[in-house]
Structure 1
Amino acid sequence: MSNLYLDESLSANDLAVGASVALTGDEARHAATVSRLRSGESVLLGNGSGVQATCEVTGVENKRVDLTVVSVAQHPLEEFRLVLVQALAKGDRDERAVQAAVEVGVDAVLPWQAERSVSRWSGDKIEKGVVRWQKVVREATKQSLRAWTPDVLPPESTASLLTHTGHDRVLILEPTAKKRLSDLTRAEIEPVDPRGSVLVLVGPEGGVSEKELSVLTEAGALPVRLGESVLRTSTAGPVALALINVALGRW
């Protein structure tokens, strides 16, 4: 089974075994015209909030696919969230980072207006940027068959990121850092507060500025490096998240 379709309006009750569900809109059009589903085939249907159902296709039209729920799996949330704090970058480099981060298991992404970000979000661009990232996240969720669709959080500045250091674990990816991320223990990665999150900060093309690195470190953030080579802003975050998943036993 290689196709996951999402309908965020569905509740757990809607996806009970034996229930009939009608897939409509863009999801139905994709299923009918791109995936070319046929009656009798099996697909995965989720609500993006932890519930996934294996369904049998019972009817296909251009704008409607009828399904019958065969089995249901409920996936609980992880103990705490992994959050990619991705600096805005030119082109689609930040979006590529977000896409890969979702595939490797991030729980939320947070746009960061870093000092050296070439791309700037202001005015109407803020809402448009968030919507664009939400689309990237949703598509990556479907591609990787994830049960939970990661959140796209409101953009933050460096100053507002300082408020996270009191309860969240904040890790800054910095090529000159003395500590390697792969050397951190689980205790060094877990949130300061059990109710907090693990934030992985990735700078833009020009990197995290000395001023940003200084104020964040003084506030309690921990600079870490990945290795001897310097990765692109579109690559560093997903690589770091993969290492953290191993250290936390999620992989």
Structure 2
Amino acid sequence: MTAPVFLVDSVPGPGETVLDGPEGRHAVSVRRLRAGEPVVLTDGRGSGAVGVVRAAEGKDRLVVEVTGEQSEPEPVPLITVVQALPKGDRGELAVETMTETGVDAIVPWAASRCITQWKGERAAKSLAKWRNTAREAGKQARRLRFPEVTDLMSTKQVAALLAEADFAAVLHEDRDAGSAPLASVELPASGRIVLVVGPEGGVSPEELAAFEEAGAKAYRLGWSVLRTSTAGTAATALLLGRTGRWS
């Protein structure tokens, strides 16, 4: 079993360090780590420290002897998924599985056909849930570089993001809309790939037109129609394989 990962503000150097607070509590009281077990401490930005537990003190204090360092370089190409807001907890499901799969950034999108709306206090709470989910999923996946979850974007802001991408795509299940297979397209070897996942009701014609004007074409994954909470994960896996990041 690989060493569990815990998040720290800054990665410690060689020698003894203490993991406390919520992460220490999780290590001691939930994971029940004991002396001699390996751990990894990361800042979530690509740097990590390898260590061995020296002692578990109380309920929330883990003494760790740092013995080495690890690093996770910035991936190439970068993959960003623009995720329309799903209903209920399916947003957290999408964030969790995309993070575990290897996405680099997630953009919440207020599409016109979204039933869920982020406004006021609900917007702040929902965004915090997405970011917490990405953080926890990153640790579960043993990542040292966690995906960024941006602020909520409008269609206009998403179009601007697509215009700056090295490759931009909108997932679209309707073959009559001219969508080509994503599996057959030529992908860039570097830069940023931006993929748009629409809501359950689909991307509206007006949104599709705005994205096409920004340089994003319509693509499909396969014969079956996936839910918005799973399409981004499936597409991310396809892109990771085709760009060589999974080789």
CA distance, structure 2, for counterparts of residue 118 and residue 161 of structure 1: 19
Query: Which position in structure 2 is the counterpart of 1:213?
Result: 208
Aligned pairs for 1:1-251 (under 5 A) are 1-7=2-8, 9-11=9-11, 14=12, 16=13, 18-61=14-57, 62-168=59-165, 169-176=167-174, 177-187=178-188, 194=191, 197-251=192-246
CA distance, structure 2, for counterparts of residue 49 and residue 218 of structure 1: 34
Uncovered stretches (5+) of structure 2, i.e. residues with no partner: none
CA distance, structure 1, for counterparts of residue 16 and residue 156 of structure 2: 50
CA distance, structure 2, for counterparts of residue 104 and residue 40 of structure 1: 30
CA RMSD in angstroms, aligned pairs only: 1.5
Question: Which portions of structure 1, spanning 4 or more consecutive aligned residues, are displaced by more than 3 angstroms?
Answer: none
SS in 1 for 2:226: coil
CA distance, structure 1, for counterparts of residue 224 and residue 205 of structure 2: 19
SS in 2 for 1:228: coil
Could you tell me which amino acid in structure 1 is paired with residue 206 of structure 2? K
Could you tell me which amino acid in structure 2 is paired with residue 6 of structure 1? L
CA distance, structure 2, for counterparts of residue 147 and residue 31 of structure 1: 17
Task: Say if 2:3 and 2:38, in contact at 8 Å, map to a contact too.
Answer: no
TM-score by length of structure 1 reads 0.91
Could you tell me which amino acid in structure 2 is paired with residue 213 of structure 1? L
CA distance, structure 2, for counterparts of residue 119 and residue 159 of structure 1: 19
CA distance, structure 2, for counterparts of residue 210 and residue 148 of structure 1: 36
CA distance, structure 1, for counterparts of residue 132 and residue 161 of structure 2: 26
CA distance, structure 1, for counterparts of residue 163 and residue 136 of structure 2: 33
CA distance, structure 2, for counterparts of residue 186 and residue 218 of structure 1: 20
Deviations 1:46-73 (A, max 9, x none): 1111112221101102121000112211
Task: Say if 2:179 and 2:217, in contact at 8 Å, map to a contact too.
Answer: no
CA distance, structure 2, for counterparts of residue 125 and residue 80 of structure 1: 33
Could you tell me which amino acid in structure 2 is paired with residue 239 of structure 1? A
- Cα offset, 1:104, TM superposition: 0.8
Uncovered stretches (5+) of structure 1, i.e. residues with no partner: none
CA distance, structure 2, for counterparts of residue 103 and residue 90 of structure 1: 21
TM-score by length of structure 2 reads 0.92
Q: How many residues align?
A: 240
Task: Say if 1:164 and 1:170, in contact at 8 Å, map to a contact too.
Answer: no
Deviations 1:63-102 (A, max 9, x none): 2100011221122112342111100011111211111110
Could you tell me which amino acid in structure 2 is paired with residue 127 of structure 1? A
- Cα offset, 1:211, TM superposition: 1.8
Task: Say if 1:202 and 1:233, in contact at 8 Å, map to a contact too.
Answer: yes
CA distance, structure 2, for counterparts of residue 216 and residue 20 of structure 1: 52
Task: Say if 1:185 and 1:247, in contact at 8 Å, map to a contact too.
Answer: no
Deviations 1:120-163 (A, max 9, x none): 01122222222111100001001100011111111111122121
CA distance, structure 2, for counterparts of residue 112 and residue 219 of structure 1: 16
- Cα offset, 1:35, TM superposition: 1.1
Deviations 1:162-197 (A, max 9, x none): 21233213210101243101001123xx67xx4xx2
SS in 1 for 2:87: coil
Distance change in 2, residues 1:55/1:2 (3 Å): closer
- Cα offset, 1:228, TM superposition: 0.6
